[in-house]
Structure 1
Amino acid sequence: MRYDCLSILGHPVVETPNLDELARTGVRFDHAYSATPTCVPARAAIFTGQKQTSHGRVGYQERVPWNYPTTLPGELAKSGYHTQCVGKMHVYPARSLMGFHNVILHDGYLHYNRYKHSNTVQEHYDEVDDYLTWLRGQVPGADLLDLGLDCNASTVARPWALSEHLHPTNWTVSQSIDFLRRRDPSKPFFLWMSFVRPHSPLDPPQAYLDLYKDTDIPDPVIGEWAMKEDPEGHGFNPVTSKGIVPKRRLKLAKAAYYALITHIDHQIGRFLQALDEYGERNNTIIMFTSDHGELLGDHHLFRKSLPYEGSAHIPFIVNDPGGYLNLAQGSAVSEVVELRDIMPSLLTAASIDIPASVEGESVWELARAEEEASRNKPWREYLHGEHAQGIASTQWITNGAEKYIWYSQTGEEQFFNLVQDPGEIHNLIHHPQKQDRIRYWRSVLVQELKDREEGYVQDGRLVIGREPVAVLSHLR
């Protein structure tokens, strides 16, 4: 989910009433990022509380075993919490518990589990996925491919064809509510309610698509630096990551994306009502975030992995109705936070010691009422992000106000003033008055990369064309 798809932020189209209320009565972190903005490495940051150079996943690569000895659910379980995940994990093996007592799994479509032609595949999707097994019990012969949509089809959309209660979003909440019934009432609980949507396929129930399909949806932002023509017709590819997409197709895709978010929002409202029914609403700290965004046509780009705001900037909301953390309700935090900060934040909230391996920081001191806040040390000055992806591999630095990007295979550089230009329309890399800032951020990136195994830095300078890897050697 993109960071800006909240009506409380003034989005001109999308409606998110329940998330708006969580933000209005909680704390909104306006500069939250995913340092490695695709599913696998982002989730490694959540599970371990580590930056990408430590957890080892600096790009997207499946089927690399998850053998981390210390994880967020594992630490909570050891401290007496009843831990449960419902929905997406995206780990390997797919049924790895990662410290949870139990996982009710729906990862969406994972190619390595579905491909029947590979002799090395040890587990097939219909053997590991709980949602598909359940769905086939409701609709014999049903499959995830029935709508004809690819799991990464960013530009093709159509309505969900079955009853709404059979949609994966509803199923995730139904199973989560059932956990409230089945949990050990003598223990506190940790529930990770993990939605696949609004990730593709873009398949909202018809009622939600109807909310948006005839709405005047704004065009994507297009940078001055973005592609002007698409002579090879990449935009006609239904699973494109770039290109000029036919206007009607793109409008429907955006409408479906917004519809999926409102669908999730309403189902979150359903879960919050269930928390009330079980008497746990005021005894529960709620955190809402995403593993990455979706470019959705910005700069004629789609999907994620790139460092632009639509891809790397994510929503991050905390709500504490019981007042346990003394947060400044209705406030917005401007400091840069990252997914690795989730683990130390939740462990601190549960009064559990933070393991030495954790590199994130608890966000609570940023979010407390001003008169109560007493920070032990300054907050991070910047975030280093990256993603290995062939010719499109990037390294980037941001402090929430400025962003420096280096394409490691081509040497292309970009510099954006996010305060004056939040859409990243104007690349200021050659602006004469910005050269001091650019040199500074370039030097920061050099320091971050100077000891990297890829050899990105030599003699204190960035080196173009060094081969990127998705997984660092200590994890391989």
Structure 2
Amino acid sequence: MKSYILFFLVFLVCLSVYTQDKKKPNVLFIIADDLNTALSGYGHPQCKTPELDKLAERSVVFKNMHCQHPLCGPSRASIMSGLHTYSTGVLKNAGIDRKQKPDIVTLPQAFKNKGYYTARVSKIFHMGIPFDIIQGTAGGDDPTSWDEVYNMKALEHNAKGKLTNWSPKHDGHQKFNGLIAEGTDSDHVDGMAADKAIEMLHKLKDRPFFLAVGMIRPHVPLVAPKKYFDLYERDEMIAPIVPENDLEDLPTIYRNRNTNKKWGVTPEGHKGLLEAYYASVSYMDAQVGRILDKLKELDLDQNTIVVFCSDHGYLLGEHHKFQKPHLFEEAIRVPFIIHVPWIKSSIGKGTTKITELIDLYPTLTDLAKIEAPKELQGKSLMPLLQNVNSKKWRKKVAFTTCNAGGASVRTDEWRFTHWKHGDRGFEMYDLKNDPGEFTNLADNPKYAKVRKRLNKLLLKKKTAAGYTQEMYEWGYN
């Protein structure tokens, strides 16, 4: 008799644990690579992203979200640790060094420590694109974060199709190769990642999970099946309008970084480049849609927090420059969408409050009622999820680092930037009157008081982010 009673008690305990686990919200985190705010839901006049637009309609859209470093490795290390780059020690394309930073608890690790099953599909921490995809290798991943990982292996620009280099002066792996690819979605990397993510959802549907899915596009090479190129008319692509002398008032240390002198993009080629970029975005968008459809089909959508974002922005000819490591708005601002099924008050709404990617970590632990590490440097976005205009949200400044000792603060009215920690020049832009950041006012005596105030703010933010004088020579590449 006693054995039956003991068995029944054990059964009740197991049932209780199972019930508690079922109440835990799941997390589906999807991150794109090198995606600026070229989403139709963000008001882009040409790029077509119907699946992300549908997600936005039932989510909160953050329209003033900023990355911590406009380069894949540093940005992803910050997102996944909730720390600024000076605190992670990652200012180049690499992963978190556990030997140097043994006490870091990553975002998925925090969930793993609380009984969640954590899985990675494709690029979450840094990977070298396209080589890690071609080889099927893990790059700078953090194995401690995951219970299970999947690396995608695809041909990338070596796949069959029509290949064009839209940047003929540059022959490195970052050139603007556009491939109108043969085959189906699943013959290429993001389709493969969606297939695996769907498989994982089936596998994990009966246990709490943190599933992170990396979309490679629109990182170069700009690979997409032909049907996504067919969504666009190349001749109708609209290139950014930039003053001819836009770069003349920039500090020399970064004036010529990644300008078109390096790429050699012609006016006709610019249209082809934009078509390829938007086609690869639309291809990525369709794969996100497939994953979200499966989430609903499996009845997981009512208990799963969905996050979509990019690691940083991207220049497509703005300021006569291309690609990412710059401290202009286009390189720093990113799309960011959160769907929380049980928060109904802000469905389909957007907020223009200043937010940062390091705010994701404390937000997810807050939503899941998981204790977050005290060291986190971001703030929970919960007030804005409940009310997009919440007065409880007090963040007024975004802080971003860059190569060459660059750092920038962004307020609602100003951007202020210094290079080599102030020894190699400054930039200051009046965002109300000059949203394109064309006129550098840093050396204009009329704005001396503003410069002094913003410089003080920048130095304060650097210190809070973990900067010390020993870091002076960090990140010079």
Pick the TM interval, shorter chain: 0.7 to 0.9
Which residue of 42, 47, 50 corresponds with 2:75? 42
Instruction: Report the equivalent of 1:70.
Output: 105
Question: Cα distance, 1:172 vs. partner?
Answer: 0.8
Instruction: Report the equivalent of 2:119.
Output: 84
Q: Partners in 2 of 1:180 and 1:60 — Cα distance?
A: 33
Q: Partners in 2 of 1:200 and 1:342 — Cα distance?
A: 26
Instruction: Report the equivalent of 1:406.
Output: 418
Please give the per-residue CA displacement for 1:113-144, whole angstroms capped at 9, x wherever unaligned: xxxxxxxxxxxxxxxxxx22xx5xxxxxx576
Secondary structure of the 1:415 match is strand
Instruction: Report the equivalent of 1:309.
Output: 329
Instruction: Report the equivalent of 1:176.
Output: 197
Q: What amino acid is the match of 1:25?
A: R
Q: Against the structure 1 CA distance between its residues 274 and 241, is the aligned structure 2 distance closer, same or farther, given a 3 Å change threshold? A: farther
Instruction: Report the equivalent of 1:365.
Output: 383
Q: What amino acid is the match of 1:415?
A: M
Asked if residue 102 in structure 1 is aligned to residue 148 in structure 2, the reply is yes
Q: Against the structure 1 CA distance between its residues 171 and 425, is the aligned structure 2 distance closer, same or farther, given a 3 Å change threshold? A: same
Secondary structure of the 1:5 match is coil
Q: Against the structure 1 CA distance between its residues 61 and 13, is the aligned structure 2 distance closer, same or farther, given a 3 Å change threshold? A: closer
Q: Partners in 2 of 1:151 and 1:343 — Cα distance?
A: 35
Q: Partners in 2 of 1:469 and 1:353 — Cα distance?
A: 33
% same residue: 26
Q: Partners in 2 of 1:337 and 1:277 — Cα distance?
A: 32
Question: Cα distance, 1:411 vs. partner?
Answer: 2.5
Question: Cα distance, 1:222 vs. partner?
Answer: 2.0
Q: Partners in 2 of 1:38 and 1:358 — Cα distance?
A: 21
Secondary structure of the 1:285 match is strand
Q: Against the structure 1 CA distance between its residues 200 and 286, is the aligned structure 2 distance closer, same or farther, given a 3 Å change threshold? A: same
Which residue of 29, 39, 44 corresponds with 1:11? 44
Mapped contact 1:154–1:296 kept (Cα < 8 A): no
Q: What amino acid is the match of 2:281?
A: I
Mapped contact 1:395–1:405 kept (Cα < 8 A): yes
Mapped contact 1:242–1:300 kept (Cα < 8 A): no
Q: Against the structure 1 CA distance between its residues 370 and 386, is the aligned structure 2 distance closer, same or farther, given a 3 Å change threshold? A: closer
Q: Partners in 1 of 2:172 and 2:469 — Cα distance?
A: 31
Q: Partners in 1 of 2:379 and 2:266 — Cα distance?
A: 44
Mapped contact 1:61–1:470 kept (Cα < 8 A): no
Q: What amino acid is the match of 1:407?
A: W
Alignment of 1:325-344 (within 5 A): 325-344=343-362
Mapped contact 2:95–2:142 kept (Cα < 8 A): no
Q: Against the structure 1 CA distance between its residues 313 and 93, is the aligned structure 2 distance closer, same or farther, given a 3 Å change threshold? A: closer
Which residue of 197, 200, 216 corresponds with 2:236? 216
TM-score (norm 2): 0.78
Mapped contact 1:344–1:361 kept (Cα < 8 A): yes
Alignment of 1:23-422 (within 5 A): 23-57=56-90, 59-62=91-94, 65-66=97-98, 67=102, 69-91=104-126, 94=140, 96-105=142-151, 131-132=152-153, 135=154, 145=158, 152-183=173-204, 185-223=205-243, 225-227=245-247, 242=262, 245-320=265-340, 322=341, 324-369=342-387, 375=392, 379-389=394-404, 393-408=405-420, 411-422=424-435
Question: Cα distance, 1:72 vs. partner?
Answer: 0.8
Question: Cα distance, 1:41 vs. partner?
Answer: 0.8
Question: Cα distance, 1:468 vs. partner?
Answer: 3.8
Q: What amino acid is the match of 2:414?
A: E
Question: Cα distance, 1:412 vs. partner?
Answer: 2.8
Alignment of 1:435-454 (within 5 A): 435-449=448-462, 452-454=467-469
Q: Partners in 2 of 1:356 and 1:309 — Cα distance?
A: 30
Q: Against the structure 1 CA distance between its residues 454 and 244, is the aligned structure 2 distance closer, same or farther, given a 3 Å change threshold? A: farther
Please give the per-residue CA displacement for 1:414-454, whole angstroms capped at 9, x wherever unaligned: 21222333322232334555332222111212334468444
Question: Cα distance, 1:342 vs. partner?
Answer: 1.0
Q: What amino acid is the match of 1:361?
A: K
Question: Cα distance, 1:95 vs. partner?
Answer: 5.4
Question: Cα distance, 1:309 vs. partner?
Answer: 1.4
Mapped contact 1:73–1:98 kept (Cα < 8 A): no
Q: What amino acid is the match of 1:411?
A: R
Mapped contact 2:181–2:225 kept (Cα < 8 A): yes
Q: What amino acid is the match of 1:4?
A: T
Question: Cα distance, 1:348 vs. partner?
Answer: 0.8
Q: Partners in 2 of 1:247 and 1:93 — Cα distance?
A: 35
Mapped contact 2:406–2:418 kept (Cα < 8 A): yes
Please give the per-residue CA displacement for 1:73-101, whole angstroms capped at 9, x wherever unaligned: 11111212221111103458645423211
RMSD (Å), alpha carbons: 3.0
Q: What amino acid is the match of 2:459?
A: V
Identify unmatched segments of 5+ residues in structure 2.
1-33, 127-137, 166-170, 249-256
Secondary structure of the 2:144 match is coil
Q: Which one has the bigger helix percentage? A: 2
Secondary structure of the 2:319 match is helix
Question: Cα distance, 1:20 vs. partner?
Answer: 1.6
Instruction: Report the equivalent of 1:233.
Output: none
